[in-house]
Amino acid sequence: MKKLSLLLASSFLMILASCTDDTGDIIPTSDARDKFTGDWLCKESSSVTPFTINISKLGDGDSLLIKNFSNYGDLTNTYAEVTVNSLTIPFQKIGVTYIPVSGSGIYSSAGGTDKITMNYTTDGQSATAVCTH
């Protein structure tokens, strides 16, 4: 009798589980890096001339590749890591002359304008760049 009760209970649970709506179980995932990617026009505090950077995803994790960082040229790549709306530029040496860089940035969007504000040091000099998309 115990086996029959267990079989009936198991059958009832399977029928009940098959009747539930699974659409609520799907959680859409997005890549936090998406908002950072593309070409950005930057104005740096230490320079009068604006310049363009290109940010692309690097690998499957949270990494980005920034080309022309601080207007050092398209062949100069700088790596950054993203967490939600912020990026971190870990200490690294870039370019053929191994320029030391590090810093951070914040993504924001207001009035239809996307913006990244970055504070960093390059070769011992502090700078702020405001980049718009």
CA distance 52 to 59: 23
Q: What is the mean pLDDT of each run of 10 residues along the chain (133 residues)?
A: 44 48 57 96 93 95 96 92 97 95 97 96 95 94
pTM: 0.76
Residue 24 pLDDT: 54
Best CA proximity match to 64, nearest among 93, 89, 30, 100: 89
pLDDT at 25: 53
Res 13: pLDDT: 43
Q: What is the structure's pLDDT at 7?
A: 40
Distance CA 6, CA 48 (A): 78
- Paired tokens of 58: 């690097």
Query: What local confidence, expressed as pLDDT, does residue 6 receive?
Result: 41
What CATH architecture does domain 34-132 belong to? Answer: Beta Barrel (2.40)
Contact present, 107 and 116 (Cβ < 8 Å):
yes
Structural domain boundaries of the chain? Answer: 34-132
